[in-house]
Amino acid sequence: MKKTLLLLVILALQACSDTTVQLPKDDVHKGSRINSKLETNTVQSSSDIDTGIDADISTGIPTGIYFSNKKCGSDKTCKNFNPKKIDGKYFLSKNQDSNESTYYLLAKDNTYYLYSLQFLDEDYRAVGSWSKLKEIEESDLSFETESIEQVMGSDYMGSYDNANINNKLNTLANKSGLLEIGSLLAGNKIPTHETIKFIQTNDGYKVDCENYIKKYEEIADEFFEKNIAVGFHFYYECSSGNVIYFQDVNKLR
């Protein structure tokens, strides 16, 4: 619990102050360093993204969009979730009633992004973000992430200003309450360090929580001393005994 609280403090202290409004999808990528293949394929409707069954050779994860459609607790009870789909496109939506964390994994041309909506305080304020995943072990689906781009929620994550805790990030996603999967919208950049490993299941993938907690414990003290956050995406779920499952959105019923 102590480390979880410290994580939230560090996240707040480390966020970048740049919260300029970005243009809609056709202009989101201007000036970015994303390669042209990603630029032309991620900000489209899901029907335009090739989500066939041919696997990327290096990792075995097929190109596509994967949604966290199921969460199972240590007592083996499971909850099922549905992605937000509008006009053939998939979104993170902060306007939901369940107050449950939701995630998307986007895989395209050996490039990977994790989209996350979480509720990080006692008032269930939604925090929406995306992160680029760096492949570190192609044989076992292991990735690292070094930053979080927070684009939805209160800017107290960036300023740690509790007097203005309800101030909203000045981003397009925050105004609409929606972040399109594939968008690389700029927001508050929060330094972090995580190792995330996926395990293949019969119908998709799940987060390897045992590995996640192990890697967290190996580096937590070192990175806390450097004021770099760890455990942002899955520490709470994994430490609570939950397992997060992902499935290709085209295979969801």
pLDDT digits (tens, 9 = 90+) for 102-157: 999 999 888 999 999 988 765 567 788 999 999 887 678 999 998 888 888 765 55
Compute the distance between CA of residue 65 and CA of residue 226 in angstroms, rounded to an integer. Answer: 34
Residue 124 is predicted with a pLDDT of 60
234's CB contacts (< 8 A; 6+ apart) are 194, 196, 207, 209, 212, 244
In the three-class reduction of DSSP (H, G, I as helix; E, B as strand; rest coil), residue 204 is classed as coil
Angstrom distances, CA of residue 241 to CA of 13, 88, 98: 28, 34, 19
Residue 174 is predicted with a pLDDT of 63
The reply to whether the predicted model has a pTM over 0.85 is no
pLDDT (tens digit per residue) in 33-64 = 333 223 323 333 333 333 333 444 344 688 99
Residue 251 is predicted with a pLDDT of 92
Compute the distance between CA of residue 82 and CA of residue 252 in angstroms, rounded to an integer. Answer: 8
Residue 157 is predicted with a pLDDT of 55
Partners of residue 243 on adjacent β-strands: 72
In the three-class reduction of DSSP (H, G, I as helix; E, B as strand; rest coil), residue 193 is classed as strand
pLDDT (tens digit per residue) in 153-191 = 765 554 444 554 555 566 667 667 788 999 998 888 888
Residue 224 and residue 4 in contact, taking contact as beta carbons nearer than 8 Å: no
Question: Band of the pLDDT at 77, cuts 50, 70, 90?
Answer: very high
Spell out where the chain has E strands: 64-72, 78-80, 84-86, 89-93, 102-108, 111-119, 126-137, 142-152, 178-180, 188-200, 205-207, 229-230, 243-248
Residue 242 has pLDDT above 50, yes or no: yes
Residue 80 has pLDDT above 90, yes or no: yes
Residue 227 is predicted with a pLDDT of 66
